[in-house]
């Protein structure tokens, strides 16, 4: 493999990013955004090197640490060694940075031995490896391997403004190559990674970045024009926007969340996408939910979860998770299920979804809910996984409230 032209300031940028992610606790995507904005002289290749190198190291953090003999994430001074190991293992590089920081490590022998240990090879904490094995049994190793690969960039056509063929043509005019996704009629996959958010097509609201399995949630909900739908955990609103497209911008969508700043983002995105049927409401007390009792044809609960299904997209998440955090999230899921169901009208539909691979956040939560609320009936549930579907991991369950 040919070693790219790597300047010292690029390596320093990666070093800074890693320190902020692992030792200051910031999220990787936000760190990368800040670092890339810090030097306007960097070209596209420089920016790509910084982003891809940082993400590759985050993805393989434990593996690289184990090679260096210092799996101690509390030591910021270890990052230059980790970067040097990355350069060596990825490019077989004799870069001066490698010679400076790897004078006495026999990389080849260490790699061979460490690759025999799953938690090290796939670079996850021991507790997560044990938890995943208990949850997914024989499928865990395959899913874990798929989670440790870079995700493709998928976009969803905004059908209120264009169709997929026209969007593909418009993107091509901006030197952005795509191929149609086979799973539906609106998805496109990027051939090469580029900054989509500066493109004219994005600024014109012709598409949203959204993985194919995430797109399936709105399709699974089966929204119809004229319906009243509540997206009760809307966040930044990707699924609300998709619901509106499927409804042909006819009816009413109430996007709700406990964080007002996320709803502000949803409003901005809806305006850009030409969507007028979305109303936002902050959940600042249970009164907000009670006022909407029995009012919705459909309620979507895309609940907070471990995010285990999107680790390939957010690799730093595996270092920020813990057993205690997962336990707290499962409690929150039950609280949401145990309260928000009341917004569904008799005969209406509730959809529960997560971006988790773990049954204890998925079907087991639905089984618990059905015991608590026998007036609901499970109609269908589906799941997607990185290994089986080459997509983000998602679970979705459709329940009907009996008349």
Other Cβ atoms within 10 Å of 118 Cβ, number? 15
Whose CA is closest to 229, among 207, 205, 249? 249
Q: Which of 181, 233, 305, 355 is catalytic?
A: 355
Mode of pairing for the β-strands spanning 228-231 and 296-302? parallel
Q: Are 185 and 164 in contact (CB under 8 A)?
A: yes
Give me the residue label for tokens 């293992």.
89
Instruction: Look up 355 and say whether it is catalytic.
Output: yes
Q: In this structure, are residues 257 and 238 in contact, taking their beta carbons and an 8 Å threshold?
A: no
- Name the packing angle between helices 238-246 and 260-273 (round to 10°): 40
Q: Write the Ramachandran bin of 175: left for phi over 0, alpha for psi from -120 to 50, otherwise beta.
A: left
Q: What is the 3-state secondary structure (H, E, C) of the chain?
A: CCCCCCCHHHHHHHHHHHHHHHCCCCCHHHHHHHHHHCCCCCCHHHHHHHHHHHHHHHHCHHHHHHHHCCCCCCCHHHHHHHHHHHHHHHHCCCCHHHHHHCCCCCHHHHHHHHCCCHHHHCCCCHHHHHHHHHHHHHHHHHHHHHHCCCCCCEEEECCCCCCHHHHHHHHHHCCCCEEECCCCCCEEEECCCCCHHHCHHHHCCCEEECCHHHHHHHHHHCCCCCCEEEECCCCCCHHHHHHHHHCCCCCEEEEEECCHHHHHHHHHHHHHHCCCCEEEEECCCHHHHHHCCCCEEEEEEECCCCCHHHCCCCCCHHHHCCHHHHHHHHHHHHHHHHHHHHHEEEEEEEEEEECCCCHHHCHHHHHHHHHHCCCEEEEEEEEECHHHHCCCCEEEEEEEECC
Q: Which residues are catalytic, by number?
A: 355
């Amino acid at each position: 493999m040919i070693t790219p032209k790597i300047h010292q300031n690029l390596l320093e940028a990666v070093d800074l990013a890693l320190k902020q992610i692992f030792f200051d606790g910031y999220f990787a995507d936000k760190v990368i955004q800040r670092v890339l904005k810090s030097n306007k002289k960097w070209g596209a290749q420089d920016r790509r090197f910084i982003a891809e190198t940082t993400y590759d190291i985050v993805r393989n953090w434990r593996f690289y640490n184990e090679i260096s003999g210092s799996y101690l994430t509390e030591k910021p001074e270890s990052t230059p060694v980790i970067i040097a190991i990355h350069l060596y293992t990825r490019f077989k590089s004799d870069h001066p940075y490698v010679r400076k920081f790897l004078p006495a490590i026999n990389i080849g022998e260490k790699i061979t031995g460490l690759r025999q240990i799953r938690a090290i090879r796939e670079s996850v904490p021991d507790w997560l490896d044990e938890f995943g094995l208990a949850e997914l049994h024989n499928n865990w190793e395959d899913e874990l391997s798929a989670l440790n690969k870079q995700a493709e960039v998928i976009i969803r056509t905004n059908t209120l403004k264009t169709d997929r063929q026209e969007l593909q043509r418009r993107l091509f005019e901006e030197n952005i190559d795509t191929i149609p996704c086979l799973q539906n009629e609106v998805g496109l996959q990027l051939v090469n990674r580029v900054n989509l958010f500066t493109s004219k097509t994005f600024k014109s609201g012709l598409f949203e970045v959204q993985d194919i399995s995430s797109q399936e949630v709105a399709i699974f909900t089966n929204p119809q024009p004229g319906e009243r739908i509540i997206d009760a955990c809307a966040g930044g609103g990707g699924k609300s926007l998709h619901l509106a497209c499927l409804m042909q911008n006819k009816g009413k969508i109430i996007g709700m969340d406990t964080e007002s700043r996320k709803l502000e983002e949803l409003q901005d995105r809806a305006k850009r996408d030409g969507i007028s049927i979305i109303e936002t409401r902050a959940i600042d007390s249970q009164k907000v939910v009670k006022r909407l009792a029995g009012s919705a044809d459909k309620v979507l609960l895309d609940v907070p979860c471990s995010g285990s299904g999107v680790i390939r997209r957010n690799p730093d998440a595996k270092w920020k998770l813990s057993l205690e955090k997962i336990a707290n999230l499962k409690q929150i899921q039950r609280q949401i299920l145990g309260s928000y169901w009341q917004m569904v009208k008799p005969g209406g539909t509730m959809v529960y979804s997560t971006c988790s691979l773990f049954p204890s956040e998925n079907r087991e939560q639905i089984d618990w809910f059905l015991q608590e609320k026998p007036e609901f009936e499970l109609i269908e549930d589906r799941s997607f996984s990185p290994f089986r579907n080459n997509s983000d991991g998602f679970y979705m369950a459709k329940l009907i409230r009996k008349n």
